[in-house]
Amino acid sequence: MTNLPLTVAVAPNRLSLAKFARRSPSAAIGATLVILILLVALFAPWIAPYDPIAQDVANRLAPPSAAHWFGTDGFGRDLLSRLLYGTRPTLMLLAIVILLTTPVGIAIGIIAGFYGGLVERVLMRITDIAMAFPKLVLALAFVAVLGAGLVNGALALALTAWPAYARQTRSETVALRKSDYLAAAEMMGITGPRLLLGHVLPLVLPGAIVRMALDLGGIILIAAGLGFLGLGVRPPTPEWGAMVADGTQVIFDQWWVAATPGAAILLTSFAFNLLSDGLRDLMDPRNG
């Protein structure tokens, strides 16, 4: 019977969120675009009309046509096929960064906010040091030392992305630490990791999810920047940033070579920004 009030209190919030989701155009449009991008990455081998790395020098820099909808690049490779395959390294980098940063940042924030004292001061000073490094500069230095590659770029971005999650989660945990909700849980004998995982984590996770969605657009731009500088995925693997770099050499005469991957970067960042904006509205208690 002691658990019943907690269940009843949470149920109305879930219902209100479901109702508000149907009234959030940003969330609906963003989620639709993100799902389409994921489907493109998944089914790229079946929907791409050509081999993305097959060269046809006789058709190099061909304009958009019925045979090549988006034209060809300087090696005669079909831009549409390379564009479709280019979603894969971009989404893979996003997945690696999120899987590395979100759990680490949330764990550090919960521990620092809940225990306080010396533990909080040490963890937050480490967080401050990590936040002092600019993401792109550290990514460039990291990749320059270890070599170009998708994993190295993702590791470099992960090293500077987790502090934002730690600080946000710590602030939310501090507000929860003296709440009646946690006091009631402790009176029921719930302490230690069980309290943190079962009662604190579910309450701070929505904010971390919104933060994650907000960061995805920026991560896509930084990943494209690494590819543009030749520090991303190694050629001839299709990657949007590298495709833009190839197109800058002929941008005034064959504009489609750079415009096509640039539009893909813009659309993908826009989709994740729309999704994050909708999630922020959905999870705002003032809208419930």
Question: Do 276 and 216 meet the contact criterion of CB atoms below 8 Å apart?
Answer: yes
Range from 9-23, 109-123, 127-141, 169-183 that averages highest in pLDDT: 109-123
Q: Taking residues 266-279, report their average pLDDT.
A: 85
Question: Chain-wide mean pLDDT for the chain?
Answer: 81
> In this structure, are residues 271 and 33 in contact, taking their beta carbons and an 8 Å threshold?
yes
pLDDT value of position 182: 76
- Residue 80, both tokens: 């549409």
- Answer with the residue of higher pLDDT: 11 or 18: 18
* Candidate CATH numbers 1.10.3720.10, 3.40.50.1000, 2.60.130.10, 3.40.50.300; the one for domain 25-40+69-287: 1.10.3720.10
Is the per-residue pLDDT at 148 higher than 80? no
Cβ neighbors of 129 (< 8 A, separation 6 or more) are none
Identify the pLDDT of residue 81.
92
**Mean pLDDT (whole number) for 3-16:** 41
Reported as a single tens digit per residue, the pLDDT across 164-216 is 899 989 988 888 887 777 778 777 877 777 878 887 888 888 888 888 888 88
| Coil vs helix vs strand at 246 | helix
In 3D, which of 51, 79, 64 has the Cα closest to residue 247?
A: 79
- Centre a 10 Å sphere on the Cβ of residue 189 and count the other Cβ atoms it contains: 8
pLDDT of residue 78: 92
pLDDT score, position 114: 86
Lowest mean pLDDT: which of 15-29, 61-75, 230-244? Answer: 15-29
The C-alpha atoms of residue 111 and residue 129 are separated, in whole angstroms, by 18
For residue 49, name the pLDDT band (cuts at 50, 70, 90).
very high
pTM across the whole model = 0.79
Confidence (pLDDT) at 20: 45
- The C-alpha atoms of residue 138 and residue 129 are separated, in whole angstroms, by 13
Q: What's the average model confidence in pLDDT over 122-144? A: 82
Per-residue pLDDT at 3: 43
What residues does each domain of the chain span?
25-40+69-287
> Looking at residue 283, what is its pLDDT?
64
Predicted pLDDT at 10:
40
Give the separation between CA 234 and CA 188, rounded to whole angstroms.
Answer: 56
User: Which pLDDT score is estimated for 108?
Assistant: 92
pLDDT at 1 over 70: no
CB contact at 8 A, 232 and 155: no
pLDDT of residue 152: 81
Within 10 angstroms of residue 287's Cβ, the number of other Cβ atoms is 13
pLDDT bin (cut points 50, 70, 90) of residue 2 is very low
Cα separation, 231 vs 208, whole angstroms:
29
Residue 287: what pLDDT?
52
Residue 15: predicted pLDDT: 41
How high is the pLDDT of residue 281?
66
Residue bearing the bigger pLDDT, 159 or 259: 259
Give the residue ranges of DSSP H helices in the chain. 4-21, 25-42, 44-47, 79-115, 117-131, 135-146, 150-177, 180-187, 192-195, 201-228, 240-248, 256-282
